[in-house]
């Protein structure tokens, strides 16, 4: 069966199912065809504005659905835009005109109710909406002639602006969301023909109204798009009968509310038109859902943008019927959308010797149109295909051959389907090149190497691609033919042993286009290269006497020869660095040992490139250590040290040791056979001479490096050894200094302390209180020296007398001192009043305390002094002396202020009456210690309409004296202005309560001395809190002179989902709330 036939059968099956549902003939719906094959959304269509003799009055929020049994579209209810009230009218559309019916029974007048097909009985099911009584929860059914109210056991909460759709796969009605008394909801209900059942899904769309639901024929699921709850939604959800699933399409319409949505039985897609959002306003775009993605539908024209329109597939009109809706004005116009076919599929092009053949498959969807044929377009590039068709064929033909071609030119083709609604979009471009005779395109020689896997592809061109065969010759052993496909064959494999050389074979190529082609192919097999590598690595630091087992290998597995190379040190002499025997290398002497590895090759392998190893051979290391030395003091007896020599090989050394001090030889070399030598199994220790200067004198103070050098008796095998130096520290001889103060001179004695010896040299500096007063030279005497300076120490204060000997030569410096002390005198200030800020406000006494120094006082301690009068500064001073001439002086400074400051109030008149409380200033002055602070304390007392205010000013000076003065005044405030807030033009229903109508504007009028600020509307009972963007304008004033302010407040259609709102105005810190009921 062709795709076109399946599409036709699918549409017929759906319409038949709808008709049978209407008559109650079946309880299940079986849809034929393959949904996956039809899951392609239409890409284009045509909107047509149709007219009718009779039209329902303009309304918003009406409900519409197709009734299969009567073959008519039913329109119910809505809100009349001319009267502002809901209507309870029932209208039908027969494909050409509207007719108002007058059934015996009618549901209550409502707007934004849901009306869908009940698949259990073929009737229409009406639920909910908003009436003049509030949110409806009624369930009604329409049988084609009359309305009947149903009373199910379970009833969803009353609501409006909810979504509902007929689920043909599960034979039930699905309802979601909307606005109820509590606000937006997100509950899901299903109707089975007798009762409502609430369904609970693990995940579900968020609470919202203004949403769109429709049954998607391709996926057998209910689809939900968009909605609003203070936020515009653009998400897509699907219901599979048990739970909601959020889809993630690659493309989608912008977020919106109440777009018109319905299913298209021809394509199996869901069609969405229009809607509204804040950013774009009223929308007029058309979209299609193909089971997993949204795609735009291109139309030459479109209905004006709107939201809240009604749409349904009308079999009588053969398209999607759209009516009603709201934009800047409500609409009652009629539009019909007919969808065109999709592009042909599976288009292919095949080139031949003088032609190109095309084939394709019919469109997956033909929409509402009738397929009439196909048009073929050609060009020489994918971006330059002619706009005029080169061929037109009938609808039953899906192939065509282009004979007007030039061989070797690439042609590009596209195919369009034609229909009663115009052509489809073009198919994807395909290309082909007309055929040519075969010709070999690869080289006639290939190269291989013995033992190495490789391949070479023999290729030939031609159209159609030619077959390549081996017609003569035999491939060398190890090679085979593989991957034989039209236009190529591959020689592959690894050449076997004994195949090195040249081999010839013949290939033929044929594709049915004369002439065929032949190629003599030469296969050249080369000998393999081999490479050598060392399998062993010598230890680093090889020395004479070591051995090394050497090894090398070839990657071909052939034997390798290793020999000593002529580049070896001492090659061919008795001092040759190394020799080899049975792959073991012996290191004989110091120098460079060079080894060379070679392999000559054979019939299948080339000779290998030689490789070399170069090994440095050193002497056996000798290890020399010198015994550490203890520090000495200058003049102490000299000491000796020892040197120990050992070899790294473990053998005993032979030779001599030279001791050194600061790099200079210390005596003659000491032979390791010397009488002082002490040998162990691996080392020999010898003792050196006493450590002195080269002339035999004691070493001077400082650091001296002592080392030893070993000279071997066999220098070609054992290396010279040098010890690390050890440090001999000769320290300065310590001294002590003692000072004696005479009547007219100063004497210092500097002595050397053991273990140092010798008389210190140099001079001594004498100081008094740290100040040098003279220098005297030392006179040596055995292990000490003496210096004398003529200098009498001044009297009158305590002094420190010292003597300093600076380091000189090999002797360390030292110092000594003695103290001379003055007497001490302390003055103490007391008073019966605690001072403040350094000032006293009462009598002050100054008392003295005396302490002798290094000698008794020359007289009694001074008596105390008492001061009583005001004084800014008085200083009391006393002096004492000692019998050794020491002197001490003490002073005390006193400040006394016993007089209070002057204080007064300025900026206020005593007993005067003010409109508001004045702010006086505190003024103060003080001639003694000065003013510290001046403060005012305010108290008030209510006397009828007058308030008596008392100001008490207090001034305090820095000594703590204070004075106070008091002043009284009267304050009488004027009466406050009256404030009022009213909503003019609205019906007042109580205190601060008004009734308004949607779509109208009212004046919020405020009487206030200051400009009020508007607060945006909030859903009751929430108070308004956010400031609005518009400002009140002053329009006049009251007789009392209070300003009058005015602001126009609109109540829009979109606010109707909640009937009670709170608006407000803020004056200063006070908020005035107006409660509004919206009808």
pLDDT score recorded for residue 841 = 87
pLDDT band of residue 885 (cuts 50, 70, 90) is low
pLDDT score recorded for residue 516 = 82
pLDDT band of residue 820 (cuts 50, 70, 90) is confident
- Would residue 697 count as lying in a domain? no
Q: Which of 287, 317, 339 is the last residue of a domain?
A: 339
| 71 and 51 part of one domain | yes
The mean per-residue pLDDT over the stretch 1047-1073 comes to: 88
- For every residue of 735-802, DSSP letters joined together read EEEEEEE-SSEEEEEEEEPTT--S---SEEEEEETTEEEEEEE-EEETTEEEEEEE-PPP-SS-EEEE
pLDDT score recorded for residue 1033 = 95
The mean per-residue pLDDT over the stretch 1061-1065 comes to: 92
The mean per-residue pLDDT over the stretch 534-560 comes to: 91
pLDDT score recorded for residue 696 = 84
List the CATH number of the domain containing 997: 2.60.40
| 740 and 727 part of one domain | no
| 36 and 179 part of one domain | yes
The mean per-residue pLDDT over the stretch 70-93 comes to: 94
Q: Which of 465, 493, 526 is the last residue of a domain?
A: 526
pLDDT score recorded for residue 11 = 39
3-state secondary structure of 14: helix
- The phi, psi pair for 35, rounded to 5°, reads -55, -40
pLDDT score recorded for residue 1029 = 83
3-state SS of the chain: helix, strand, coil percent to 5?
Answer: 5, 50, 45
pLDDT band of residue 855 (cuts 50, 70, 90) is low
Residue bearing the bigger pLDDT, 816 or 142: 142
Nearest by Cα to 64 from 55, 72, 76: 76
| 22 and 157 part of one domain | yes
pLDDT band of residue 16 (cuts 50, 70, 90) is very low
pLDDT score recorded for residue 124 = 98
Q: Which of 839, 870, 896 is the last residue of a domain?
A: 896
Nearest by Cα to 616 from 561, 573, 578, 574: 578
As given in the structure block, the two tokens for residue 581 are: 């025997």
* C-alpha dist (Å) from residue 737 to 44, 636, 812, 903: 119, 22, 11, 73
pLDDT at 51 over 80: yes
The mean per-residue pLDDT over the stretch 842-848 comes to: 91
Nearest by Cα to 998 from 79, 109, 56: 79
Maximum mean pLDDT: which of 221-225, 362-366, 1011-1015? 221-225
Nearest by Cα to 644 from 673, 683, 689: 683
The mean per-residue pLDDT over the stretch 354-358 comes to: 88
Nearest by Cα to 877 from 889, 868, 888: 889
| 128 and 41 part of one domain | yes
pLDDT at 32 over 50: no
pLDDT at 9 over 80: no
pLDDT score recorded for residue 888 = 85
The mean per-residue pLDDT over the stretch 954-960 comes to: 91
- For every residue of 571-632, DSSP letters joined together read TTSTT-SEEEETTEEEE-SSEEEEEEEE----SSBPPPPPEEEEEEEBPBPEEEEE-----E
pLDDT at 18 over 50: no
| 124 and 30 part of one domain | yes
pLDDT score recorded for residue 709 = 95
* Arithmetic mean of pLDDT over the chain: 88
pTM of the model: 0.43
Lowest-confidence range among 562-571, 712-721, 793-802?
793-802
Domain interval for residue 611: 532-617
List the CATH number of the domain containing 396: 2.60.40.10
| 32 and 165 part of one domain | yes
pLDDT score recorded for residue 362 = 93
pLDDT score recorded for residue 40 = 59
Residue bearing the bigger pLDDT, 437 or 406: 406
pLDDT at 202 over 90: yes
pLDDT at 806 over 50: yes
| 1074 and 1020 part of one domain | yes
pLDDT at 168 over 60: yes
The mean per-residue pLDDT over the stretch 804-821 comes to: 88
pLDDT score recorded for residue 20 = 30
The mean per-residue pLDDT over the stretch 142-169 comes to: 97
pLDDT at 120 over 80: yes
| 1001 and 1072 part of one domain | yes
Q: What angle do CA 562, 567, 568 make, to 5 degrees?
A: 75
pLDDT score recorded for residue 24 = 28
């Amino acid at each position: 069966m062709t795709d076109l036939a399946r599409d036709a059968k699918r549409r017929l099956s759906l319409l038949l199912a709808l008709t049978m549902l209407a008559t109650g003939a079946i309880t299940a719906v079986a849809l034929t065809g393959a949904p996956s094959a039809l899951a392609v959304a239409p890409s284009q269509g045509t909107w047509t504005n149709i007219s009718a003799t009779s039209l329902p009055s303009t309304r918003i929020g009406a409900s519409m659905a197709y009734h299969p049994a009567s073959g008519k579209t039913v329109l119910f209810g809505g809100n009349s835009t001319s009267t502002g009230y809901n209507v309870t009218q029932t209208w039908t559309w027969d494909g050409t005109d509207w007719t108002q019916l007058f059934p015996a029974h009618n549901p209550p007048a409502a707007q934004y109710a849901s009306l869908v097909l009940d698949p259990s009985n073929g009737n229409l099911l009406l639920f909910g909406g908003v009436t003049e009584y509030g949110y409806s929860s009624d369930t009604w059914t329409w049988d084609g002639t009359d309305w009947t109210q149903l009373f199910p056991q379970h009833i969803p909460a009353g609501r409006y602006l909810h979504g509902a759709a007929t689920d043909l796969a599960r034979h039930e009605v699905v309802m979601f969301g909307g606005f109820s008394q509590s606000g937006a909801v997100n509950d899901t209900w299903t109707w089975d023909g007798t009762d409502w059942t609430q369904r609970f899904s693990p995940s579900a769309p968020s609470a919202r109204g203004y949403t769109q639901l429709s049954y998607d024929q391709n996926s057998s699921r209910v689809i939900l798009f968009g909605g609003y709850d203070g936020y515009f939604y653009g998400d897509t959800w699907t219901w599979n009968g048990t739970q909601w699933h959020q889809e993630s399409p690659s493309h989608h319409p912008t977020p919106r509310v109440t777009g018109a949505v319905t299913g298209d039985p021809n394509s199996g897609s869901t069609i969405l038109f229009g809607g509204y959002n804040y950013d774009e306003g009223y929308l007029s775009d058309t979209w299609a859902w193909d089971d997993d993605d949204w795609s735009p539908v291109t139309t030459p024209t479109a209905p004006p943008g709107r939201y809240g329109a009604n749409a349904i597939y009308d079999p009588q009109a053969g398209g999607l019927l759209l009516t009603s809706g709201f934009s800047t004005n409500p609409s009652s116009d009629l539009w019909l959308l007919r969808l065109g076919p999709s592009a042909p599929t599976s288009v292919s092009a095949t080139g031949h010797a003088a032609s190109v053949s095309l084939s394709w498959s019919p469109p997956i969807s033909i929409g509402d149109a009738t397929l009439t044929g196909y048009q073929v377009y050609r060009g020489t590039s994918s971006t330059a295909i002619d706009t005029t068709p080169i061929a037109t064929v009938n609808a039953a033909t899906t192939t065509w051959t282009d004979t007007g071609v030039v061989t070797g030119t690439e042609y590009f083709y596209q195919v369009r389907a034609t229909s009663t609604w115009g052509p489809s979009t073009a198919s994807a471009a395909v290309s082909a090149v007309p055929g040519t005779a075969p010709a070999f395109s690869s080289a006639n020689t290939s190269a291989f190497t013995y033992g190495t896997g490789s391949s070479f592809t023999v290729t030939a061109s031609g159209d159609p691609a030619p077959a390549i065969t081996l017609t003569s010759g035999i491939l060398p052993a190890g090679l085979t033919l593989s991957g034989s496909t039209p236009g190529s064959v591959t020689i592959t494999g690894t050449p076997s042993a004994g195949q090195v050389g040249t081999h010839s074979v013949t290939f033929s190529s044929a594709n049915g286009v004369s002439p065929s082609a032949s190629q003599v192919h030469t296969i050249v097999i080369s000998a393999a290269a081999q490479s050598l590598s060392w399998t062993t690595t010598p230890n680093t630091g090889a020395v004479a006497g070591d051995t090394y087992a050497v090894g090398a290998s070839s990657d071909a597995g052939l034997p390798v020869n290793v020999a000593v190379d002529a580049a070896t040190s001492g090659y061919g002499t008795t001092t040759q660095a190394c020799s080899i025997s049975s792959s073991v290398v012996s290191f004989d002497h110091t120098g460079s040992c060079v080894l060379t590895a070679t392999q000559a090759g054979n019939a299948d392998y080339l000779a290998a490139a030689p490789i070399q190893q170069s090994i440095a051979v050193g002497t056996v290391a000798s290890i020399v250590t010198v015994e550490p030395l203890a520090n000495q003091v200058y003049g102490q007896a000299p000491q000796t040290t020892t040197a120990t020599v050992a070899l790294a090989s473990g053998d005993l050394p032979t030779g001599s040791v030279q001791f050194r001090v600061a790099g200079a030889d210390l005596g003659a070399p000491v032979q390791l056979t010397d009488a002082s030598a002490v040998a162990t199994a691996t080392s020999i220790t010898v003792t050196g001479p006493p450590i002195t200067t080269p002339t035999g004198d004691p070493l001077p103070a400082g650091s001296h490096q002592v080392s030893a050098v070993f000279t071997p008796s066999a220098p070609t095998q054992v290396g010279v050894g040098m010890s690390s130096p050890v440090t001999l520290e000769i320290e300065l001889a310590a001294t002590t200094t003692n000072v004696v103060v005479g009547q007219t001179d100063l004497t210092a004695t500097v002595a050397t302390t053991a273990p140092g010896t010798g008389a210190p040299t140099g001079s001594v500096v004498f100081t008094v209180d740290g100040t040098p007063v003279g220098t005297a030279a030392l006179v040596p005497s055995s292990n000490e020296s003496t210096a004398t300076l003529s200098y009498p120490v001044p009297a009158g204060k305590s002094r420190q007398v010292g003597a300093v000997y600076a380091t000189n030569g090999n002797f360390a410096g030292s110092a000594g001192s003695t103290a001379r002390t003055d007497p001490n005198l302390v003055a103490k200030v007391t008073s019966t009043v605690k001072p403040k800020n350094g000032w006293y406000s009462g009598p002050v006494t100054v008392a003295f305390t005396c302490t002798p120094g290094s000698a008794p006082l020359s007289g009694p301690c001074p008596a105390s002094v008492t001061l009583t009068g005001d004084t800014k500064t008085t200083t009391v001073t006393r002096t004492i002396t000692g019998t050794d001439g020491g002197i001490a002086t003490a002073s005390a400074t006193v400040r006394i202020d016993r007089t209070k400051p002057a204080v007064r109030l300025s900026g206020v008149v005593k007993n005067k009456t003010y409109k508001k409380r004045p702010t006086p200033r505190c003024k103060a002055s003080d001639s003694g210690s000065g003013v510290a602070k001046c403060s005012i304390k305010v108290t008030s007392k209510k006397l009828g309409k007058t308030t008596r205010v008392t100001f008490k000013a207090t001034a305090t000076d820095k000594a703590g004296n204070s004075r106070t003065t008091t002043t009284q005044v009267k304050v009488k405030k004027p009466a406050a202005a009256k404030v009022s807030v009213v909503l003019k033009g609205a019906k007042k229903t109580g205190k601060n309560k008004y009734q308004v109508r949607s779509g109208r504007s009212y004046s919020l009028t405020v009487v206030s001395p200051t400009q009020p600020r508007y607060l945006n509307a909030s859903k009751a009972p929430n108070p308004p809190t956010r400031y609005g963007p518009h400002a009140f304008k002053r329009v006049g004033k009251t007789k009392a002179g209070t300003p009058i302010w005015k602001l126009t407040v609109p109540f829009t259609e979109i606010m109707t989902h909640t009937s009670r709102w709170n608006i407000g105005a803020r004056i200063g810190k006070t908020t005035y709330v107006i409660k509004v009921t919206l009808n």
